[in-house]
Amino acid sequence: MHPIRTAAIIGKFARSEDTGPLSELAHFLAARGLSVLVEQHTHECMADAALVSADFARIGREADLAIVVGGDGTLLTVARELAPHGVPLVGVNRGRLGFTTDIAMNGMLPALEQILDGLFTAEERTLLDATVSREGHTLLRSLAFNDVVASRGVQGGMIEFRVMVDDEFAYELRADGLILATPTGSTAYALSSGGPILHPSVAGLILVPVSPHTLSNRPIVVGDGSRIEVVLLRAARGSIYFDGRDHHTLLAGDRLTVTTSPHRSRLLHPAAYSYYRTLREKLGWSGSPQPGA
């Protein structure tokens, strides 16, 4: 990893009176001798005119580290923006769950001090590269950190898909929708729909039917080098979502193609970080580690 000389601060705040921790963070980083960039929309919420405002393009060019203060949704948005630039991310949680934003607000500065001193755990997270085409023409292309979801949208009935994996017919599906998730996304919408949890190091993608008409349509994990094609067969109108946010209308005959992106998102955690402890805490699993284990 390159030496950290410039750090970016990115947060989700609605008003300036909430941004005290961000100002404290900016001054902490400056005291460590770092140049500090503040994402432009975050900067607008802050009352410190001395801080440097920057858009994602500049952050991608100049930052050696991006500190994301918010919830998991904020981090996945930032991950999609910065993954092509290879900027490592640190997540500070001020949301609810905090699967990826694992540093607590009240422990933010001590944890960042560890990371800046080189005491951290790094991991690579997979992203999806999704393309929607109609009659052979590409309508849109997007990255997804958690998942790509094709669903019935606001209409009442089920919709039908044909699913191909590496140009081989897999199945036809009548359901409320289909989730294509990364290992990171396995603890999001895919989990609530009955999908398995994949450790972030597993090289796989998950296909999870949402309320399938036939109960034998079960979640399946395929290799992360797979090319998945989903064709909408019968529906007046469907919808596609990228990480639960960006939305686009699907029509019968539209084709969704999903592959693993060549870009990865690199997350940095304090040295004591444990993925399994995170699962225990966030999912309410019982038990505690035994002494010496």
Amino acid identity for residue 223 in this structure: G
pTM of the predicted structure, to 2 decimals: 0.91
Stretch among 123-137, 191-205, 243-257 having the lowest mean pLDDT: 243-257
**Phi/psi at 103 (5° precision):** -90, 130
Report residue 283 as tokens: 């999912």
Q: Does residue 217 contact residue 171 with C-beta atoms inside 8 Å?
A: yes
Q: Indicate the pairing of strand 6-11 with strand 35-39.
A: parallel
The yes-or-no answer on residue 64 being catalytic is: no
174-210 confidence digits (pLDDT tens): 999 999 999 999 999 999 999 999 999 999 999 999 9
Which CATH architecture group holds 127-262? Sandwich (2.60)
The rounded radius of gyration (Å) of the Cα atoms in the chain is 20
CATH number of the structural domain 6-119+271-283? 3.40.50.10330
Name residues whose C-beta falls within 8 Å of residue 217's C-beta, 6 or more positions apart in sequence: 171, 173, 175, 209
List the catalytic residue out of 48, 72, 246, 254. Answer: 72
Helix segments in the chain, DSSP class H: 20-31, 40-45, 56-62, 72-82, 108-116, 189-192, 275-283
Could you state, in order of their start, the residue ranges of all structural domains in the chain? 6-119+271-283, 127-262
Mean pLDDT of 35-60: 91
Residue 293 has pLDDT above 60, yes or no: no
Domains 6-119+271-283 and 127-262 share a fold: no
Cα distance between residue 257 and residue 262, in whole Å: 15
